[in-house]
Structure 1
């Protein structure tokens, strides 16, 4: 499928509130047919997401320590996770320390997911992911670990206000770029 047709299909699913603010862009190399072009997502005429560019407006993590030390990350911890730590330590650890240990475990899992998502995004082909988005259900795209699928689903008009509001806790565990587009969409309600 050509870029213009793909772009037209993606824009047909775009939320009406984002029309004029959100834009899919692509560069191509006319004289280098073997070199793929770059794809960008722009918001308010600024490139917010470039497929393999770490200089975008969103923070890209380099180490697990950066994620653990980022005060902006809020990880919800439930009672079952605290109980799992208590069971692993045979109940010999104070209650306040159990919460710290559970949060640390969850942050480590979160870091692994973030790195996996970042590496797949830098290697992925926008056109392939966009075609996958167009052929799968919106629920699959939202539940996916693929950053780009999450973004395409969040800006989709089929995601209503109620569903957006119910996703708040899930979005806290997503990559910062996905959280950015979630906030963008929330602000358009």
Structure 2
């Protein structure tokens, strides 16, 4: 798991935000020292309001429920000794909850690492929602690229549409994803 020095990573991340959103978007890491793993939440705020909350506890609960749903739907009994099967079901469940927009703090850090180590073109086409969100608010994306993305954004999740619309409005583009 990517565990950067948050102050350094935040500074780098804020450096990528486009000028029109620089003062409106912020990122926060909230750690719970008394939690068993000392993890907490990663939060993206817009105008000081939480827009995306990536809570480890919420994610872990959703992950366990999704694993049991998979087992129930496929009639798979839990076997503590079948580590390969348990791992595969865990990976499948994790991918499903991420597709639903449920992220843990460690997912945010993993996405951050992917974003920092990829080109902006690759980030824009990423299947990771957080990476795509970060790329939509990136200063390296111009108005023409935003216009080209208008049709493809219509099939994306609501949170990606929100950040796309936020960026378009901030840039003065009248693009509707209706």
1:7-86 map, 5 Å: 7-32=10-35, 34-52=37-55
User: Structure 1 unaligned runs (5+)?
Assistant: 54-112
Report the equivalent of 1:57: none
**Which of residues 148, 157, 164 in structure 1 aligns to 2:139?**
157
Aligned CA distance change for structure 1 residues 52 and 131 (closer, same or farther; 3 Å): same
CA deviations on 1:84-122 (whole Å, 9 max, x unpaired) are: xxxxxxxxxxxxxxxxxxxxxxxxxxxxx9976226745
Aligned CA distance change for structure 1 residues 122 and 17 (closer, same or farther; 3 Å): same
Check if 1:183 corresponds to 2:165.
Answer: yes
Report the equivalent of 1:134: 116
Moved over 6 A (4+): none
Q: Retained in 1: the 8 A contact 2:126–2:132?
A: yes
User: Structure 2 unaligned runs (5+)?
Assistant: 57-94, 172-178
Distance in 2 (alpha carbons) for counterparts of 1:44 and 1:35: 28
Q: Retained in 2: the 8 A contact 1:121–1:147?
A: no
Post-superposition offset of 1:20: 1.1
- Of 177-186 and 33-42, the range deviating more from structure 2: 33-42
Post-superposition offset of 1:10: 0.5
CA deviations on 1:2-54 (whole Å, 9 max, x unpaired) are: 1111111100101010011000011012344722120000000000001149x
Post-superposition offset of 1:132: 1.1
Distance in 2 (alpha carbons) for counterparts of 1:34 and 1:116: 20
Aligned CA distance change for structure 1 residues 188 and 117 (closer, same or farther; 3 Å): same
Distance in 2 (alpha carbons) for counterparts of 1:13 and 1:152: 9
RMSD: 2.5
Distance in 1 (alpha carbons) for counterparts of 2:38 and 2:105: 14
Check if 1:170 corresponds to 2:144.
Answer: no
Bigger radius of gyration: 1
